[in-house]
Amino acid sequence: MIKKSTALEYKLYRSVLSKEDFISYIQYEINVLELIKKRRVRIGYRFKREDIEYPIIERINSVFRRATVKWKEDVQLWFSHVAFCKKWNTKAQLSRVFASMLAIHPDKPALWIMAAKCEMEDRNSSETARNLFLRALRFHPENKKIYQEYFRMELMHAEKLRKQQKELENAKMDLGEYEFSEEILGGKLAEVVCRDATSKIKGVEFLLSLLRIAALFDFTQELQDAITRDLQENYVDDCVTWDYMAKRELETGLGAAAETELRSASGKATDVARREERCCQVYEEGLKNLSTEAMWACYITFCLDRFRRKTNVSMLKEKRQGRLLAVLQRAHDASVLSEDLHRTWLQVLLSAGDADAAAQVAVAATQRFSQSAEAWSSSLQALVQLGRAETGELFQEALKRVTPKESLPLWLLRVEWSTAAQSPEETEAVFQKGLASRVPAVSMEMKQKYLDWSYRMGGYKKARKTFKSLQEHRPFSKGFFLRMIEIEKEQDSPKISNLRDYYERTLREFGSTDDDLWLGYIKEELGSRGNAENSGTIHWRAMKSLEGERVERFVTQYTLLQTGHI
């Protein structure tokens, strides 16, 4: 151990220092500490810690200090020193580490918060934590996270003092002249922090974050009321304020748990319905003042969330569904319903079994969002599911309106619908139109779908005829050729000449990038139908055609094939 430690320590005094040498030395010394700890537990020896562990801990702290002086910008190195101090309970050293780190990295708010939390939670020093937060605000006067944690810290400090007061009162101890300040116990310091924060940082989301923090403590009702008044006075033109106020009504009746447990299921449902009505009244009031798309979205999201909640009471379920559909219809009439909410509306109607209304909504969505491929796709899927007569015309309209590059899902849906609902002649005409598309992705996909459909409808002969008509049709699709190879193999007596032709055509286009094609070709020649002498020639061609890592992978797979492992 002495030789190892000395060798590691010598490296720290080289003319050119290395961070890895410092880390290795520190890790070795920490391992020694862990070993000592285990041996103490094993033999039950708890003495002479100041002679054994303390010098090692001090030596590690010294090396950490040298490392952090040398590599000041390495925040992870500072974190390692902090973690070591926490684990080995060197609290005085921990404060010095944070002080040095913050002197070098005052521009990082997370470090200030970490230091303050450490002082508050590990060292139980709220005064030091407060000073750190105040210093942090000098560097970051408008940082939301610092204000939130400072606000939380003051509330935690007040809660701690309240617990201490309660314990002393229960113990009936004489405190003499010492008295707990009622203002501090009531969270007045947190209120001062809140006022200062809201004067510098505007925004309803930040104010609500402070309100949520205050709601975690049971003595902050006055503070919560003050924040709520601030919301109502200064942010009445923000939909988030109305959303919060409405949902607050839903939580108002959640108290009195004992009474709730005694009620019947119908009584609980009535109470929930009444509270939901109060929420809707707040939303309606908000819409009178702020009839925007965001406000409607908040209202609809609330109704949708309540609708998706499971309940066994049919009355409540029907009421929620009717409310949701009514609000969606009103938003649609006001032309403020987004595309996503249109799709949600359509799904709700389909699940409710209202076919006529669902069809109307689907058609309306295509008119409102005529350039959106997703809107057309969801609407056409619904119309196909409902079996509407106007589906064919809408498919043609969709392909005219939507950008060709985004039309592939519509083509796939149209082919699927035509296969199930139209005659073979009409379906073939749809395929021909898709093959003529100028978008490569559409044309390639249509080729493969057309080949599959031909095989299903007319068997092998029709599939081969389709293949021959499209084998020179660009752009080429690897899936098209591979599907024809599969079809040939599915026959009772596959022809090796046809397989060779398919493989040769595929390799001509994709042989330089796909080693699996060459291996498949070789396997066919090594099979009962092929000629094993051709495999050597194919291997030589593959080595010439493949590029980069594909060559190495091909060699490996070919070797496994020769040895019988694949």
Percentage of residues of the chain with pLDDT beyond 70:
96
What number is the average pLDDT over the span 307-316?
A: 88
pLDDT of residue 340: 94
Tokens 């498949």 locate to 520
pLDDT at 326 exceeding the cut of 60: yes
pLDDT of residue 267: 78
pLDDT of residue 263: 57
What number is the average pLDDT over the span 395-410?
A: 93
pLDDT category at 382 given cuts 50, 70, 90 is very high
Crossing angle of helices 391-401 and 408-421, rounded to 10°: 160
pLDDT of residue 253: 57
Contact criterion met (CB below 8 Å) for 151 and 187: no
pLDDT at 268 exceeding the cut of 90: no
Tens-digit pLDDT profile for residues 69-78:
999 999 999 9
Contact criterion met (CB below 8 Å) for 61 and 90: yes
Which of the two residues, 392 and 267, has the higher pLDDT score?
A: 392
The token pair at 558 is 């070919």
pLDDT of residue 270: 86
pLDDT of residue 15: 86
What are the angstrom distances between the C-alpha of 134 and each of 94, 113, 196, 263, 338?
A: 20, 11, 12, 51, 45
What number is the average pLDDT over the span 457-483?
A: 92
pLDDT category at 530 given cuts 50, 70, 90 is confident
SS3 content of the chain, % helix, strand, coil (to 5): 80, 0, 20
Round the average pLDDT of the chain to a whole number and report it: 90
What number is the average pLDDT over the span 422-445?
A: 92
Choose among 262, 335, 334, 332: nearest CA to 346.
332
Which of the two residues, 180 and 114, has the higher pLDDT score?
A: 114
Contact criterion met (CB below 8 Å) for 282 and 302: no
pLDDT of residue 465: 94
pLDDT of residue 186: 84
pLDDT at 163 exceeding the cut of 80: yes
Percentage of residues of the chain with pLDDT beyond 90:
70
pLDDT category at 174 given cuts 50, 70, 90 is low
What number is the average pLDDT over the span 5-22?
A: 89
Burial class (CB in 10 A: 0-12, 13-18, 19+), 264: exposed
Which of the two residues, 288 and 92, has the higher pLDDT score?
A: 288
Contact criterion met (CB below 8 Å) for 217 and 268: no
What number is the average pLDDT over the span 185-189?
A: 87
